[in-house]
Structure 1
């Protein structure tokens, strides 16, 4: 079917207005409305008078008395069988239910009402007219279908409608599947009003108020020739019938003054009610948004039904849309209201049979957007909307037309923008597949909106909107710079700043940030309540408030404004977007804040950018030491502690030293020594530093300077802890944690003798230790030499003995005790120390014991000497025995190292471990040539040679002579041994 329809589609020739209200731009001049002719073939003599469509079921009023049923879902081609029925009287009007099953037809002459049943491939007329009780003069003016409130399971078996008579009576009709009707009169109170006003009912419309789910709240609109009446109430959907009888009982006794209505000059014209549903049935839980149109003589009554306030939509917000008559025809009295209208989302299509044209009027601004005068398919008859299929249809006297709407929203945003309805302009400017175009439209709307606000003197709101518009930055800032109030400029700059991208617009962010800071500071200067007239230093506070009163400015109001602006300023500084900018350009911000004298905000800003050193400095300048310390406490920056502790410890010693303990893991105690010294100077008797140093000791501090300072504090405040501290340290000078020399000097200066003795021992200054110990007592001196050995020990014991003998009155008992304690001292060592008049009787026993020891020692030495002599003799015998023994392996090809001849050519030769080999004759001759040998030695070698050569010598003498010759010649290698070294300065030719 779609392919078949496509063959007959054609584009309507449309004429567009060129005024500002035109919805189509120059670029988008493609038509919005397209109509295509259905391929239905009618008899050439057939004229279509009217048409209704529901659920793809078409009921056509042909000629005068014929009804024809056609259905898109049932046809496969244009030769399908359609159904027709013929009435005896001319047809006046017809109403088809939303599902295409029940058709109500009224006739002209007899004013009778008939029911036709539409089913698949059939249209059956119930020949018996519908009777409305005893009201035989009932003339059907309009009928509205009320199936919205029915439950879904009831719709298949029942459909309810309200029939309005021209006299004002309202009937409820229930259509059942068995072709049975239940008709109940539900409202007559309008009849006397119609009689009194000589008016008649022309239309009726019933629907739910807010949504399909809320089906108990109903409203009804009844139109007459001069007015529109509005009713609302609740119904009970659980009833079996007579749903509207309780509804209208509320209005049973209402007079005209009690009813809610609005008068409209309709006139004696054909009227029609049309609806457009924006909310579709699939979204039953959503609010139901609808548009309502009613043809009147004065124009088209139009309203958008607000589901939250339906009554107001009809009685207050409804308005008349002009038909835009052609003035020439109007003068000739040939222009008539439209015969039919159709609503779309933003337009109303109107048929004007007398002009044979269709006009499309924008419901937003009431302007014509299209005039279609190319009705080649016949004279226009009516529009029909199939609400089930959401399809718009039209018919001429010859054809049925399908309407297609393309991109109806494309220029609606411009219309709303021209009407200054910027919210709706935003809602309708979105292009689904083109975000760039959407953004361009939004900027245009914002620009227009901002201009509108600016012209209405709404400067601050306009500033916010300008920031999102495409108006140039220079134009906007120049506008606001001329204003005395800088809040709009500040608001605009803030909004522009929020639109910047941190990664790509860093320069713009910097400029805007600094400008805004300066604006904030200028405004704060003007509002600062505590600011006395700087031009008049003599101005008092009373004069200051008097000046405010004179200018009609409340000091309290100014203070509130100042605090509010200051909070805004602080909020601005804490924006994440400018955080990096503030850090990078903090010096510029500091300069701005300083130039305005705003120290409070300067401190807050420094805290924000985490420039805590500046914060501390500022607090110190203001002598707010507690705030400076509170700033320092949470920090882990050890440098700041080292730098500012010397100042703070003089003002808040307890808190500062407690902070040192808390942050000990992040601090090096030796870096705090300047602060400790400052404390000691400020509080000579204060012990807090000693407490901190003790804490350092307990937590394992191994810094030498800290331990040294701890010793100095011990000396000042608690000397009893010095010796335990020293003993607790290791005695190895390389392992102790304090400087022993410094500690020794400290103890000597403060006359701490025992501690000095201990430190002398650490430094291995045992003599000094003994000297110092003897100033205390002999016992301490003895302890000093306990671990010393050898002559040094004897010397120190002798020193102690001398002290005992000379300084303590020649105490013989102590002297004898010293001899017992030190085995190195003998009685003869200490005897010279006693005075000459000392009697020897007291030394008899020690002397005898000493002599006995000497005798024992001599005997031991004699035995050792005998053993040594025996050992020497044994060694000599071994040497003699092994002198002639040689074990060596030589090859037959070994050569003499001097003559280069084979070694085996002579019977006597010498072999050395250095692998030099010599003939005996060659070696002797070489030795004789050495200059360093004295003449006696050479002569001795020649003598031995001659004796050996004579053969007259005894064998024993020969052996001795040979041994002596070997000792002279072969003691060492002549080439690489000591002889070669001794003759290094001899020429080679002399040696060889």
Structure 2
């Protein structure tokens, strides 16, 4: 800022406490007329009232005079925002008081302030005129559009000129001469107003630094020309222009405005004693700030394009304005202008204001018969639901009412279940009514299809799913009341109510469709329920579907359907039932008895050959057979399948019944049954006798009867002879009799040989016993007990053949714990008896003979007791016998004393 005729004050807002004074170095009466600072703050032009111009760069302290500019009073400067740098301005435009526009360039070199290179120039490119001749160039602005197009705006006191042209790519540094050259012979397009302030000023609003301005405001005699800038237009960027006249208290002859600044929604007018803010949307004054006389008259107002701050100064004071919440009431203005989208944009964070805008928009649309748009807006408001609904009903706008309900439904919260249910049911009723009307009008076919699609979208909406599911009974009733079976099926599919879908298809004889639904959704319960109906009409397809389900189906639950079907079906149709049962048995390897029993019954009814094959494949082990043997036997007997009955008898091990029944069919079959009881020779012989009797008495075939003797070694000729009649030729079984006699002779010889061997064995045993009685061993005096390691001869002892020697009591102690409980008890009893026989007699008056007799009896009993004790204790060496082998897994330390033993080692 200028502090006087010869001093400038430069303040860095980042360091406001460090101001810098710059001397202009003028000794004459020259004063600062105007100053022009570029948008980066790097270049400052100082116009003097003596038609001279000075230049100051941010990086230097010294001001330099621009000699080529001398003689021109500078009124305006158009800075180059696209090519300028901190040391070079690039091509700029300069407007003078004589109406001339000059193109210039200023650069700073390292060696000196100004470069002497040719790129520093000052040349005239155009002259602006009004009707009376050349006029001062009040303002200049350079903007670049798309595709290399430049727009230059220049204003005089009453006119606003636009210069439009392209600068060839790569030649931007050469300046704008080519743009002005186009208009050398004629004036460019301009706007002119009759009133005259003596000057004019244009302001621009740029939302972001280094972006193009979005709007402009030109302050001139008739008011303020406001508009937007459209860079896509070919010849003029000014758009949506309007003139806002000055407020009534401004008289351009008395207190004309001095300066103007443009913000997003307002322009500020500077008067000598106040500031007025006028809204660009409606031209109303929304703010006024009066200044006290002590501050002096207001002289200038500018806006910092970088931080969007507004500066106002007098001769004494500088003021700064901050723009805050400028758009807070803009929504209301846009609403009153019926620009509802913009109004909603500027109040989207204020729900109460947004509701007012929506209500106003809805009412505006309703008045203009845009009912669908009105419904969409009403649905977003907090207006009473009933009033809005009645409004559309009275206007007979069902489609708009539906739209309102749909939007209202989409805005409800999950917790508002009652309202959701009400709207869902009402919408369903409206859709059905509307579809019914459209369906009866062929000319409305397209609308019907579109409405049907909307209805289906409504039914399948995930948001409505829970509500529709919980109230599906009501929806079904509505669909049924309208007779809309198509959508009833559609709704049932959405609700996954496939039971209803299948039932519908079955009722309308659409069995293939019903089966397709079952196969697609693979619900086992539905298969069980509807299979009895479907198999009556499409048995093969049903069985194919069952097979495709595999193990997911329990065949037991399908048996009732097959039973009902097989009772009335032909053999060919029963084969389908057999096919599925075979799949269960052989593919799924089912073991359930009901399945096997039913397959068995089907085989018995239609496939006897498969019956026997199945029984044989099932095996003969009762534990591995999955059918009921008694049921199978009764079934086969009822249908006369004797071979199958024979097989079942064999499995049940009823061999006599098997042979008896087999003899009615085939003797060879009976023979195969007779050999089955391998462990019971008596029964096997009995069975073969049955066969022999049958052959002799029924078939009267002697040769075959003799063959039975060779087939079974248990049968002898004497067993068979009683079956023959009294008079029969012996030649037929002479050989069999001879063979039998030879077998008897051989058996007698074998018995004699066995008797001789037994005699020899008994003789050898007697000799061994006698040898054992005469066996003895020698004990040295120093021998010790193997258990306690004390001298052996001190107490009674035992000597074993293995060489181990033990004291009696040591051996008793070692053996006792290993004896079974009953032997331990017996041993204790024997010890008590032995102790009792060792006590002297208490009678002193017995005769000598009586004592002798008593001693004799006691001595005999005592020896027997000792022998019994020896049999238990000394049966085997405790170290070499089985006792030692059995104790291999016995712990060295008793588990009960383990903890005690561990503690002793610590």
Q: Shared topology, TM-score over 0.5?
A: yes
The answer to whether the aligner puts 1:702 opposite 2:625 as a matched pair is no
The answer to whether the aligner puts 1:576 opposite 2:493 as a matched pair is no
Q: State the secondary structure of the residue aligned to 1:231.
A: strand
The Cα of 1:678 is off from its aligned counterpart by 4.4
- C-alpha contact (below 8 Å) 2:11/2:18 kept by paired residues: no
Structure 2 residue runs of 5 or longer lacking an equivalent are: 109-113, 770-826, 862-906
Change (3 A) 1:278 1:222: same
Task: Please name the residue that 2:202 is paired with.
Answer: 273
The Cα of 1:730 is off from its aligned counterpart by 1.9
The answer to whether the aligner puts 1:527 opposite 2:415 as a matched pair is no
Task: Please name the residue that 1:83 is paired with.
Answer: 23
1:297-338 Cα deviation digits (max 9, x unpaired): 221111232444486652x41111221113xx86xx965431
Task: Please name the residue that 1:685 is paired with.
Answer: 572
Task: Please name the residue that 1:158 is paired with.
Answer: 89
Task: Please name the residue that 1:711 is paired with.
Answer: 600
- C-alpha contact (below 8 Å) 1:325/1:335 kept by paired residues: no
Q: State the secondary structure of the residue aligned to 2:246.
A: coil
- C-alpha contact (below 8 Å) 2:35/2:44 kept by paired residues: no
Task: Please name the residue that 1:184 is paired with.
Answer: 123
The answer to whether the aligner puts 1:232 opposite 2:164 as a matched pair is yes
- Please give the alpha-carbon distance, in whole angstroms, between the structure 1 residues aligned to 2:19 and 2:639: 133
The Cα of 1:633 is off from its aligned counterpart by 0.6
1:194-229 Cα deviation digits (max 9, x unpaired): 45x76846534332244xxx6932101233454433
- Please give the alpha-carbon distance, in whole angstroms, between the structure 2 residues aligned to 1:445 and 1:755: 92
The answer to whether the aligner puts 1:114 opposite 2:25 as a matched pair is no
- Please give the alpha-carbon distance, in whole angstroms, between the structure 2 residues aligned to 1:744 and 1:79: 121
Task: Please name the residue that 2:226 is paired with.
Answer: 302
The Cα of 1:168 is off from its aligned counterpart by 5.6
Give the 5 Å matches for 1:327-366.
336-353=255-272, 356-366=273-283
Task: Please name the residue that 2:429 is paired with.
Answer: 518
The answer to whether the aligner puts 1:800 opposite 2:691 as a matched pair is yes
Task: Please name the residue that 1:605 is paired with.
Answer: 491
1:147 aligns with one of 80, 96, 99: 80
Q: State the secondary structure of the residue aligned to 1:634.
A: helix
Give the 5 Å matches for 1:444-843.
444-502=356-414, 504-528=415-439, 531=440, 555-556=442-443, 558-680=444-566, 681-686=568-573, 687-699=575-587, 700-788=589-677, 789-808=680-699, 810-839=700-729
Task: Please name the residue that 1:292 is paired with.
Answer: 216
Give the 5 Å matches for 1:227-266.
227-236=159-168, 238-239=170-171, 242-253=174-185, 255=186, 259-266=188-195
- Please give the alpha-carbon distance, in whole angstroms, between the structure 2 residues aligned to 1:735 and 1:455: 87
Most deviating of 477-486 and 661-670: 477-486
The answer to whether the aligner puts 1:415 opposite 2:306 as a matched pair is no
1:33-54 Cα deviation digits (max 9, x unpaired): xxxxxxxxxxxxxxxxxxxxxx
Change (3 A) 1:712 1:487: same
The Cα of 1:520 is off from its aligned counterpart by 2.0
The answer to whether the aligner puts 1:426 opposite 2:361 as a matched pair is no
Task: Please name the residue that 2:11 is paired with.
Answer: 72
1:435-467 Cα deviation digits (max 9, x unpaired): xxx344433433333333333322222222233
Task: Please name the residue that 2:243 is paired with.
Answer: 320
1:702-750 Cα deviation digits (max 9, x unpaired): 2333333333443455433333322211201231122333333343333
Task: Please name the residue that 2:141 is paired with.
Answer: 206
The Cα of 1:848 is off from its aligned counterpart by 6.2
Change (3 A) 1:797 1:264: same
2:320 aligns with one of 402, 423, 429: 402
- Please give the alpha-carbon distance, in whole angstroms, between the structure 2 residues aligned to 1:235 and 1:578: 61
Most deviating of 304-313 and 493-502: 304-313
Q: State the secondary structure of the residue aligned to 2:725.
A: coil
The Cα of 1:892 is off from its aligned counterpart by 11
- C-alpha contact (below 8 Å) 1:209/1:310 kept by paired residues: no
- C-alpha contact (below 8 Å) 2:139/2:156 kept by paired residues: no
The Cα of 1:858 is off from its aligned counterpart by 8.5
Q: State the secondary structure of the residue aligned to 1:301.
A: strand
Q: State the secondary structure of the residue aligned to 2:521.
A: coil
Change (3 A) 1:209 1:449: farther
- Please give the alpha-carbon distance, in whole angstroms, between the structure 1 residues aligned to 2:650 and 2:755: 41
- Please give the alpha-carbon distance, in whole angstroms, between the structure 1 residues aligned to 2:56 and 2:224: 34
The Cα of 1:470 is off from its aligned counterpart by 3.0
Change (3 A) 1:166 1:655: farther
Higher relative contact order (CA 8 A, sep 6+): 1
1:91-126 Cα deviation digits (max 9, x unpaired): 76554444363425264xx8x453454667857463
The Cα of 1:860 is off from its aligned counterpart by 8.8
Change (3 A) 1:640 1:785: same
Equivalent pairs counted in the alignment come to 779
Structure 1 residue runs of 5 or longer lacking an equivalent are: 1-57, 133-137, 282-286, 432-437, 532-547, 549-554, 879-884, 896-901, 909-947, 964-992
Q: State the secondary structure of the residue aligned to 1:425.
A: helix
Change (3 A) 1:889 1:904: farther
The Cα of 1:838 is off from its aligned counterpart by 2.9
Q: State the secondary structure of the residue aligned to 1:487.
A: helix
1:411-455 Cα deviation digits (max 9, x unpaired): 333333333323333333366xxxxxx344433433333333333
The Cα of 1:840 is off from its aligned counterpart by 5.2
Change (3 A) 1:811 1:361: same
- C-alpha contact (below 8 Å) 1:754/1:776 kept by paired residues: yes
- Please give the alpha-carbon distance, in whole angstroms, between the structure 2 residues aligned to 1:78 and 1:728: 110
Q: State the secondary structure of the residue aligned to 1:162.
A: strand
- C-alpha contact (below 8 Å) 2:96/2:136 kept by paired residues: yes
- C-alpha contact (below 8 Å) 1:381/1:397 kept by paired residues: yes
- Please give the alpha-carbon distance, in whole angstroms, between the structure 2 residues aligned to 1:831 and 1:786: 21
- Please give the alpha-carbon distance, in whole angstroms, between the structure 2 residues aligned to 1:241 and 1:453: 54
- Please give the alpha-carbon distance, in whole angstroms, between the structure 2 residues aligned to 1:750 and 1:368: 112
Change (3 A) 1:93 1:790: closer
More helix by share: 2
The Cα of 1:164 is off from its aligned counterpart by 3.9
Q: State the secondary structure of the residue aligned to 1:175.
A: coil
2:106 aligns with one of 172, 175, 183: 175
- Please give the alpha-carbon distance, in whole angstroms, between the structure 1 residues aligned to 2:22 and 2:472: 87
* TM-score when normalising by structure 1: 0.70
Change (3 A) 1:604 1:289: farther
1:855-892 Cα deviation digits (max 9, x unpaired): 88789999999999x99xx99xx9xxxxxx99933389
- C-alpha contact (below 8 Å) 1:149/1:215 kept by paired residues: no
- C-alpha contact (below 8 Å) 1:227/1:263 kept by paired residues: yes
1:368 aligns with one of 253, 262, 285: 285
Change (3 A) 1:629 1:87: farther
* TM-score when normalising by structure 2: 0.76
- C-alpha contact (below 8 Å) 2:84/2:90 kept by paired residues: no
- Please give the alpha-carbon distance, in whole angstroms, between the structure 1 residues aligned to 2:836 and 2:326: 124
The Cα of 1:247 is off from its aligned counterpart by 1.7
- Please give the alpha-carbon distance, in whole angstroms, between the structure 2 residues aligned to 1:758 and 1:892: 69
- C-alpha contact (below 8 Å) 1:172/1:242 kept by paired residues: no
Q: State the secondary structure of the residue aligned to 2:624.
A: coil
Q: State the secondary structure of the residue aligned to 2:91.
A: strand
- C-alpha contact (below 8 Å) 1:265/1:296 kept by paired residues: no
